[in-house]
Amino acid sequence: MIRKRNAVVHNYRNSFLGFAAHLTKEEASDIARQPGVVSVFPDPILKLHTTRSWDFLKYQTSVETYFRRGGYKYNNSSSNAASDIIIGVMDTGIWPESESFTDEGFGPIPSKWKGTCMQSDDFTTANCNRKLIGARYYKAGGALNSPRDGHGHGTHVASTAAGNTIHNASYYGIAEGSAKGGFPGSRIASYRICGVSGCSGSNILAAFDDAIEDGVDILSLSLGGSAADGPNFQKDPVAIGSFHAAEKGITVVCSAGNSGPSSGSVVNIAPWILTVAASSIDRDFQADITLADNTGGGINFGELQRSPVYPLLYGNTAKINSSNENNARNCKPDSLDKDKVKGSIVVCETEEGRSSAKQKLALVKKLGAVGMVFVNDDARAVASSYGSFPMATVNRDDGKKIISYAQSERNPMATISPTVSVTEYKPAPVVPYFSARGPSFATKDILKASPFYPDVAAPGVAILASWRDNDSVAKLVGKNSPLFYIISGTSMSCPHVSGLAAMIKSQNPNWSPSAIRSAIMTTASQTNNMKNPITTNTGSLATPYDFGAGEVSPNPLHPGLVYETEPTDYLHFLCNIGYNITTIKQISSTVPTNFTCHTNPNTHNLISNMNYPSIAISKFNGTETSVNRTVTNVGIGYMCYKASVEAPNALEVKVVPSVLKFMDGNKQLSYQVIFKSQVGFDVDVFGAIIWSNDRYRVRSPFVVSSK
């Protein structure tokens, strides 16, 4: 067989053995049949999950309804101190000149670092320093010929996780304040795996292979596949790579995806991954619409007069003869009369799944409009930048008032003010519409087992962070390039948690990835800044399907108790969702020689008993069902915890024993949770098990489903 010289794209040699290559279907089949080959699969293309946030998280701790008396305070100075913790960021690369990545105050590069700073035409070893200690790029799947960020996303993510504290940061004066990463003392290693076409699976696996060997402590991935494809762990490069990383003691943090609010849209749900949903912060971007004191949202830097001297035009009153009113009110292409639109502020509605705000903006701007009011609940809740064009977004209720004014007045007039940022906005946090939701079921078999959902939520709405230079999207005409930009997504939520994980690791260097995950989950908050339960974008109470254990706390350093999950627990999990030993070896290269899968028809009970910081039970029919957990005391000396339960009236929940006493030398204790119900229920129900004393509160959410 004659092969092209450059057929092999990557060789994986460090943490797992394999290669990526350009093959025909027949060649791939031939290789799959060779002895010793455990898996051959196509190279998938995954997508990116595209300041004030940290201040808000600290403030949120003070409004918790339960105060940890005698507990520990968040030590901001220690979080800024330089450390030897290394966060690896797999993304679109990095902009090394950003002030977020200067190395002032940092000591020598940690001796454990075995990585490199790759060179290219626009990137030299001098671009790396004692803060940005490594930068790699991978050529497969796109024109990636440099570690330098060609998008901005990777720079934004890296600075959110570990950027230095930068005072007076803003996007052209909007959202002004101090921008900083979750753990500014971290070192950063950048792995450029994503290009214009997305993030190839072969690049992802190559980056995992390198990062494990390089010596990173935390890996942050703000990307993922499609929930519509269903989790397929043996062919998912993120699941495979992260399993190997977790086996080596590396905490892997991933975004949950932006396909919400649909049920079952969450991705990256392997239990060895810390999966992060999005939440909002208490900052709103407001643009006044002067006609009847309406306030809109979005980010615009327009320069209209303050007085309402511009005609206000509802889309359907400007339709061309060949169009219909529905197309015109939604400002669809070829529906509006240019002569009527010229010089006006146009009010545009939207149909779900149709053209975006920016597409409508481009249309009305081309027709000569001087401004636009966009009526859409989601666009109002999650701010986007519309540049120098005067545009404001409003929710449907405010939109009805504006449309009524435009239709009832003989000469309706209006103006739109440039955006200002408002802090201490309430309620916050809120789970935004785009944040992916649970439950997710890996296969038909897992429908008999336990549903998956995000582990926690973290700020992901309108986050200000560092950006690449000379970006035409972020730059305003006639202005210098901004050093910071504002974007939203679970991509932004993920590095918040990566930073927290790094902070925990710096204070507890011997903690496992599962202990770090447990600390973050069990200290999470379920309360907003109005001291009420956190809600979703629709106003409904948020459940674990929306935000997992809750929104992260900025102080998970002292959780009291942690839930340790061993690599063999993950192997049994794979058994229990229907994978055989051969398939499991496609995911893990360190399956013990004597490892066997349990033979038990009640696999859903086995999965529910995995020692995880949350509990999920499916196929519940009301009969007594028990779940076991083991907690490790990470406090000092004697500790006594008492159990309490949050549960709906229809569900009986008992914890045995109800008191845990940790004496000197006794670090681990087990308990059992017994679920029972006298009445059936058709909907999934939620609650929590809480272990507490006068210093700690350790909360584990649960979901019980009859499905």
Question: Hey, what are 499's tokens?
Answer: 């930073």
Virtual torsion, Cα 210, 213, 217, 220, nearest 10 deg: 10
Cβ proximity of 670 and 628 under 8 Å: yes
Question: Hey, what are 190's tokens?
Answer: 């950048």
Question: Hey, what are 255's tokens?
Answer: 């975004």
Virtual torsion, Cα 479, 484, 487, 492, nearest 10 deg: 170
Identify whether 222 is a catalytic site residue.
no
Q: How far is CA 471 from the centre of its chain?
A: 24
Catalytic residue among 49, 53, 79, 91: 91
The DSSP element (H or E) to which 10 belongs, if any, is strand 8-12
362: nearest Cα among 337, 331, 392? 331
360: nearest Cα among 377, 343, 379? 379
Under DSSP, the state recorded for 297 is: B
Identify whether 153 is a catalytic site residue.
yes
Cβ proximity of 296 and 289 under 8 Å: yes
Distance CA 296, CA 398 (A): 8
Neighbours of 487 (CB within 10 A): 24
Catalytic residue among 83, 200, 491, 518: 491
Give one DSSP letter per residue of 191-236, joined into a string: EE-EETTEEEHHHHHHHHHHHHHHT-SEEEE-EE--GGG---GGG-
Q: What share of the chain is helix, strand, coil (3-state, %, to 5)?
A: 25, 25, 50
Neighbours of 415 (CB within 10 A): 21
Catalytic residue among 10, 153, 156, 558: 153
553: nearest Cα among 365, 696, 398, 444? 696
CB under 8 Å to 466, separation ≥6 — which residues?
95, 98, 99, 100, 101, 155, 156, 158, 159, 163, 166, 179, 483, 484
Cβ proximity of 546 and 435 under 8 Å: yes
Identify whether 572 is a catalytic site residue.
no
Active site residues: 91, 153, 491
